[in-house]
Structure 1
Amino acid sequence: MNDNKPSPSTEAFTGLILDPQEILPSFTQAANWQERYRALMLLGKRLPPLDDALRQESAQVRGCESNAWLYHKEIDGRHYYLADSDARIVKGLIALLLTAVQGQDKKTIAALDLHEYFDRLGLSGQLSPSRTNGVLALAEAIKAAAIQPS
């Protein structure tokens, strides 16, 4: 990622805990799309907002209709991300993506099958085509950050 942009502290990356054992059941056990949508919105609230100084164009994820920013840091072979969006639903989708990759190694992140992951969560077919494209762009940015040399 671009070295000219401000960078969050290491603690900001490692302090973001998104436990799949706690988070994912709220989606897999939801009875309908309305409950999943509500869970998604609540999950987005768990992501800390990025400081305005970090909402840099160089950190924006291209391909998202909404504004979304992504930062990455590799620490001891593990990959950590901070991300935010100005749209609540996108912020929730970001949180779901980060739940799958936060603190993982490069191999695990590279192997992430977004379609299977969203199928398992009951989100496939529920997102608009533009939102699906945005989530795919975020997933690709996450994968690209993990495989780029630091």
Structure 2
Amino acid sequence: MANARFEDLVDTFEFLDDWEDRYRHVIDMGKAFPAMDEALKVAATKVEGCASQVWIVPTVEDGTFQFQGASDAMIVQGLIAVLHELYAGLTVGEVRGVDAVAELSRLGLNEHLSAQRSNGLRAMVERIEETAARAA
């Protein structure tokens, strides 16, 4: 089950003709994503397994999942924004029910990301899923 905002993103990707346009859209999403407080960029929030520097701070408030994130790479910052569209605002139970691999494959990301970027994306998803599992 995907968030309604993610469904809008899938529609946008279907509208965009080629991967170059989609890639630019992901980067633009990252540029528009709210900046994370520098004080949160610490070892405990750093996501290991990414080629670039990545920090994810997931939170659950009143049963609703949210997260902040940041990266020093534009495309990865965009991938954080994509994950935000997929997960933010869902209940913990809904987060646990998301098949991230299937949902992200609807965007064609798995076919166009390097192995390192794919590993990093997988590590970010794992951090999100672990947070939801602990909150359940």
The TM-score normalised by the length of structure 2 is: 0.89
CA distance in 1, matches of 2:7, 2:33: 17
Equivalent residue number for residue 120 of structure 2: 134
Higher-helix-fraction structure: 2
- Name the stretch that deviates more: 131-140 or 47-56: 47-56
* Distance in 1, Cα, partners of 2:59 & 2:101: 25
Count of residue correspondences: 133
| Deviant stretches of 4+, over 3 Å | 18-24
Counterpart of 2:130 in structure 1 is: 144
**Does the alignment pair 1:84 with 2:70?**
yes
CA contact (8 A) 1:28 1:120 kept: no
Q: Where do 5+ consecutive residues of structure 1 fail to align?
A: 1-17
Which consecutive unaligned segments of at least 5 residues does structure 2 have?
none
Report the aligned-residue RMSD: 1.8
CA distance in 2, matches of 1:79, 1:109: 7
Q: What letter corresponds to residue 99 of structure 1 in structure 2? A: E
The answer to whether the Cα contact below 8 Å between 1:50 and 1:83 also exists between their aligned partners in 2 is yes
1:38 aligns to what?
A: 24
> Identity of paired residues, percent?
32
What secondary structure sits across from 1:61 in the alignment? coil
Aligned to 1:3: none
Q: Distance in 2 between matches of 1:44 and 1:137?
A: 18
Once the two structures are superposed, what CA deviation does each residue of 1:74-126 show, in whole Å capped at 9, x if it has no partner?
Answer: 11111111111111000111111111110111222112222211221122211
TM-score (norm 1): 0.81
